[in-house]
Amino acid sequence: MKIPRILLAAGASGSGKTLITCGLLQALVGRGLKTASFKCGPDYIDPMFHSRVIGTRSRNLDTFFTSEDTTRGIFQKNAVGCDISVMEGVMGFYDGVGGTTTRASAYDLARVTDTPVILIVNSKGMSVSLSAYIKGFLEYKKDSYIKGVIFNQMSPMLYPRMKELVERELGIAVLGYVPRVEDCVIESRHLGLVLPHEIPELKNRLQKLAEILEKTLDIDGIQMLADSAPDMDEVSIKPEFTLEEPVRIGVAEDEAFCFFYEDNFRILREMGAELVPFSPIHDRHLPEEVDGILLYGGYPELNGPELEKNSSVKEEIRQRIRSGLPCMAECGGFMYLHEEMEDMDGKIRHMAGVIPGKVYRTPRLSRFGYISLQQKKTVLGEKNLGEIPAHEFHYFDSENCGGDFYAQKPESTRGWECIHGTDTLFAGFPHLYYYGNPRIPEAFLKKCLDYKKQRHRI
């Protein structure tokens, strides 16, 4: 398969990857190119910017969650038919699992997908030292995949001299620079960037940034580099399991619940699920004839008054789950299932009441990063679901996190108990990526089908 592609990486977080990626995507779309974008690692908000604001097809790629073949298959499935695919790296280029490996790093993704890398270098306070800095990244791994460089926060006067110096000394293409663009920045909050709809004039900001990058980046050169990416062997990732008949799954989707992996939706649909969105904020009832519900993450803590006020849907969710409606809930959805939740204003809000206890705010990240889940009891009708790759990232904690699974940090001795698991419930702080272990959605959908058959018998 011929799939033009590049990966934008940097030496450290805060180097401008996200802003430059968004600006470049906007510029490519502005040129009339059918563009796909991908975020390396477990990030929900960046792909939301790419897809909802810029209009690209955007997905996550994560070599912790998926094998090399599955990672390539997911990439191909979402990139096929596009003129160019742009991957955005995570953290520093070589920074991976455990802080001591390159596994699941941006470098690892470039290696697995055989993708040319453009290194974004925050040039503030440097000149000749840029050559030494870039040389270190080029030589740390013989197969670094780094084929080009972009200078961020560089003055137009300095750029020609630095381009000539770096290309002459290192033999690598310098593909432009980005000046200071303070009026184009994207604000952040405790879980990452603020949501796209919260930024006034966001489209105008990114359009302005794209116009700047058209003048300061060698976009033709970037396209040529993407076109030089090697052909890929095609990989099929069609799930092995499909339901004997379809089921209807209610998916919470609104201001409070907005953290989704689109590929989770894909695998559920391919297995036979019809996904029906509903809002725990705005809807008074669950959708009709649902056979299960999914409560993903988001910002329930920012929407405490609205969630508390909607007592009818809270009561319906509580009663239906108690009567056997299958439910999977993670992070923000798990918080919503508690009896009480402290919101961002420090006020205690009454929630759905499925999980006894209270969720409370903590001054720092409670637990974060990759984990591997091992079950301790039969859950969703399965005694041995196998190892489940997952991740946690939350500033809130619970008096009752559950103890039906054990979360082990990779490359570490640290671990903890988590998740409430029953025959029909899987609820906890960990976020799951279903391609990492397709037996999870399979077990959930089987329970949904059982519920549907039982409901029809009644």
Q: How high is the pLDDT of residue 191?
A: 63
What is the average pLDDT across 431-444?
97
86/6 Cα distance (integer angstroms): 5
Q: Is 331 a residue of the active site?
A: yes
Assess if residue 384 is contained within a domain.
yes
Quick check: helix, strand or coil at residue 62? coil
> What pLDDT shows up at residue 64?
97
The whole-number pLDDT of residue 127 equals 93
pLDDT band at 21 (very low <50, low <70, confident <90, very high): very high
Where a domain ends, among 168, 199, 227? Answer: 227
**CATH code, domain carrying 100:** 3.40.50.300
Kindly report the average pLDDT of the chain as a whole number: 94
Residue 242 counted as domain residue: no
Residues 203/186, Cβ–Cβ less than 8 Å: no
Same domain, 186 and 274: no
Q: What amino acid is encoded at 79 in this protein? A: A
What is the C-alpha to C-alpha distance for residues 413 and 289, in angstroms, rounded to an integer? 45
- Give the residue with greater pLDDT, 388 vs 17: 388
Which is nearest to 300 in space by CA: 262, 259, 261? 259
Q: What is the pLDDT of residues 107-161, one digit of tens each?
A: 999 999 999 999 999 999 999 999 999 999 999 999 999 999 999 999 999 999 9
270 and 418 inside one domain: yes
Contact 409, 369 (CB under 8 A): yes
What is the pairing mode between strands 192-193 and 247-252?
A: unpaired
Domain-located, residue 413? yes
Two structure tokens written together for 231 = 């052909």
What would the two tokens of residue 273 be? 């699920």
210 & 260 share domain: no
Residue 162 scores a pLDDT above 90:
yes
Would 152 be classed as within a structural domain? yes
Contact predicate 267/435, CB 8 Å = yes
> What is the domain extent for residue 48?
5-227
Q: Using alpha carbons, list the distances in angstroms from residue 174 to 98, 144, 224.
A: 32, 16, 13
- DSSP, residue by residue, 309-338: H-HHHHHHHHHHHHTT--EEEETHHHHHTE
Residue ending a domain, among 178, 199, 227, is: 227
Nearest residue to 212 via CA among 16, 27, 84: 27
**Domain membership flag for residue 123:** yes
Identify the pLDDT of residue 184.
Answer: 67
Cα–Cα distances in angstroms (integers) from residue 394 to residues 22, 307, 375, 391, in the given order: 25, 19, 22, 10
User: In this model, does residue 189 exceed pLDDT 70?
Assistant: no
Give the torsion through C-alpha atoms of 163, 169, 170, 176, to 10 deg: 0
Of 227, 259, 280, which residue constitutes the final position of a domain? 227
**Residue appearing with tokens 């000149």:** 127
Q: Collapse the DSSP code of 66 into the 3-class scheme (helix H, G, I; strand E, B; otherwise coil) and give the result.
A: coil
Instruction: Tell me the percentage of the chain whose pLDDT exceeds 70.
Output: 97
What was the pLDDT predicted at 190?
Answer: 63
What gap in Å lies between CA 100 and CA 370, rounded to an integer? Answer: 13
- pTM for this model (two decimals): 0.93
**Helix/strand number for the chain, H first, E second:** 13, 26
- Give, to the nearest 10 degrees, the angle between helix 17-30 and helix 202-216: 80
Question: Do 83 and 9 sit in the same domain of this protein?
Answer: yes
**CA gap 124, 131 in Å, rounded:** 14
Residues 358 and 211 in one domain: no
Let me know whether 139 and 254 are in one domain: no
Q: Which of 22, 40, 327, 331 is catalytic?
A: 331
Question: What would the two tokens of residue 139 be?
Answer: 């030589």
The closest of 12, 5, 20, 48 to 260, measured between CA atoms, is 48
Band of the pLDDT at 195, cuts 50, 70, 90?
Answer: confident
Answer yes or no: do 124 and 194 share one domain.
yes
Token pair listed for 39: 């975020």
Q: Which of 410, 413, 437 is nearest to 426 (CA)?
A: 437
What is the dihedral angle through the alpha carbons of 331, 336, 342, 347, rounded to the nearest 10 degrees?
150
165 falls within a domain: yes
Which pLDDT score is estimated for 458? 61
Rounded mean pLDDT of 187-200? 68
CATH number for position 331: 3.40.50.880
Q: Using the predicted structure, report yes or no on whether residue 225 has a pLDDT greater than 80.
A: yes
Q: In which band, very low, low, confident or very high, does the pLDDT at 261 lie, cut at 50, 70 and 90? A: very high
pLDDT at 139: 97
Q: What CA–CA distance (Å, rounded) separates 375 from 381? A: 12
Residue 235 lies in a domain: no
Same domain, 343 and 403: yes
Is residue 240 situated within a structural domain? no
pLDDT of residue 364: 87
Same domain, 365 and 406: yes
pLDDT of residue 132: 97
pLDDT of 197 > 80? The answer is no
Burial class (CB in 10 A: 0-12, 13-18, 19+), 413: exposed
Average confidence (pLDDT) over 408-413: 93
- For residues 9 and 104, membership in a common domain is answered with yes
Residue 420 has pLDDT above 90, yes or no: yes
Total domains present in the chain: 2
- The answer to which of 55-59, 354-358, 420-424 has the lowest mean pLDDT is 55-59
- Tell me: do 164 and 32 sit in the same domain: yes
Q: To 10 degrees, what angle do helices 439-457 and 262-271 make?
A: 50
Q: Indicate whether 41 and 174 sit together in one domain.
A: yes
Share of the chain above pLDDT 90, in %: 85
Residues forming beta bridges with residue 396, ordered by sequence position: 361
CA distance 187 to 206: 13
